Amino acid sequence: MEGPASLASRLLGTYNFLTWTIRRPEILSQCLKVTRAACSEYAEVLSEAGADAVCIVDGIAGPDMLDPRHLDTLIRPEYESLCGSGKGIKLIHVCGNSTPILKILSECGFQGVSIEEKVTDLPAAKKLVGSKTKLIGNLSSSGVILNGTCEEIKLEAQKCLEDGIDILAPGCGIAPKTPIKNIKALVEARDEYYQTGKIRVRTRSNCASGLCGPYHRAQED
């Protein structure tokens, strides 16, 4: 579901939303309270209907669009209210390289923070959030999951988990035309790692035998 910032930007318009963070922060703050209340109510309905977790997507709140200082002063209080209301697990996904705001997000009360592959330094990301929340992600939906082989997906999954990811998942929405076998490979990687602590993968030396697909060949080029 959309988060309070994304919902407010749709109601106000993206230009107004972004400029009001500087010119009319008091008015924007009131708007965010309204959209947060709507999000809280909807999250409660989803939880009562049986949802195991609710993930809000607030791409406009990411550092690619918004100064982290405005996230901290304007949006963080609404995240804290959202996480403190109702029942169920609350997760958040912010698009882009969310490294500059991971510490803020980890302190809002979310049980998990979903990150894209643009967060490249996973050990540093894990250090930022510490034990306050779980890191979710961050295999590239438009990269290895879409274009890679099953073995390449498992290699990337192993690296993500070893570098600090707590819950293995795509870094963003699944791309159209993603092969079903690639999605199954991701699920298999998850199961193998959580059951045995190790994922069964071929080594990159198999590229010489033609077993390495176009994704890693492109990466190496």
- Alpha helices of 107-179 — where are they, by DSSP H? 122-129, 144-147, 150-163
Return the CATH number at 121: 3.20.20.210
Q: How many domains does the chain have?
A: 2
147 and 131 in a common domain: no
**Claim to verify: residue 28 and residue 135 sit in the same structural domain:** yes
Give the model confidence (pLDDT) of 138-186 as tens digits: 999 999 999 999 999 999 999 999 999 999 999 999 999 999 999 999 9
Mean residue pLDDT across the chain? 91
**174 and 119 together in one domain:** no
Counting residues of the chain whose pLDDT is more than 70, the rounded percentage is 91
**What pLDDT is recorded for position 203?**
54
150 shares a domain with 134: no
> Percent of the chain beyond pLDDT 90?
85
170/194 same-domain check = yes
22-43 pLDDT per residue, tens:
999 999 999 999 999 999 999 9
Domain's final residue, options 99, 123, 139: 139
Average pLDDT over residues 194-219: 57
Beta-bridge partner residues of 2: 57
Q: Measuring CA to CA, how many Å separate 130 from each of 23, 107, 127, 165, 212?
A: 35, 10, 5, 12, 35
Name the residue range of residue 32's domain. 1-139
Q: What pLDDT score does 87 carry?
A: 86
Question: In this structure, are 115 and 173 located in the same domain?
Answer: no
Q: What is the largest CA-CA distance in the chain?
A: 62
Q: Is the pLDDT of residue 196 over 90?
A: no
**Domain end (from 139, 156, 184):** 139
**Phi, psi of 41, rounded to the nearest 5 degrees:** -65, -40
Angle, CA of 83, 90 and 1, to the nearest 5°: 105
pLDDT at 220: 47
- Dihedral over Cα of 200, 205, 210, 213: its sign: positive
Q: Could you say which of 86, 110, 139 is where a domain stops?
A: 139
